[in-house]
Each structure stands twice: as structure tokens, then as C-alpha cells.
Amino acid sequence: MIIIAGDRQNLYPDIAKICKVEEEAVIQRRVNRRTGRRAGEFYESIFIWKKNKYLNAT
């Protein structure tokens, strides 16, 4: 599962735990196609998750 988000508040590691998925990697990507007043530096996080078969077992 791939999630792309601007995670300023570092919420997605907790969301992964709630969803019972395992975080395989997090990639920080610079967003450079911004226009208007908010044309400053901006990064988004790409979260790569997979189902954890041990956590999903009931």
C-alpha cells in the first residue's frame, strides 16, 4: 500500500499501527511545482506499507 501525504505532525506511523500494517519505507520527496503565495520549500512523505500477517490474525 502506498500513501502520499504532507505529514507535518507525524501522524502516519500511528495510523499504520491502528490499521495493523507494517511500514516498509518512508521516502521524503521535494514538491517543486507550487504556485502562488506558497511557493516555498515543501516536502511530502511517501509511506510504503504492507499488511502484517501476524497483526491481522484474529
Mean pLDDT by 10 residues, the chain (58 residues): 88 91 92 68 90 68
Query: Could you tell me the pTM of the whole model?
Result: 0.71
Say what the pLDDT of residue 30 is.
87
Q: From CA 6, how far away is CA 50, in angstroms rounded?
A: 20
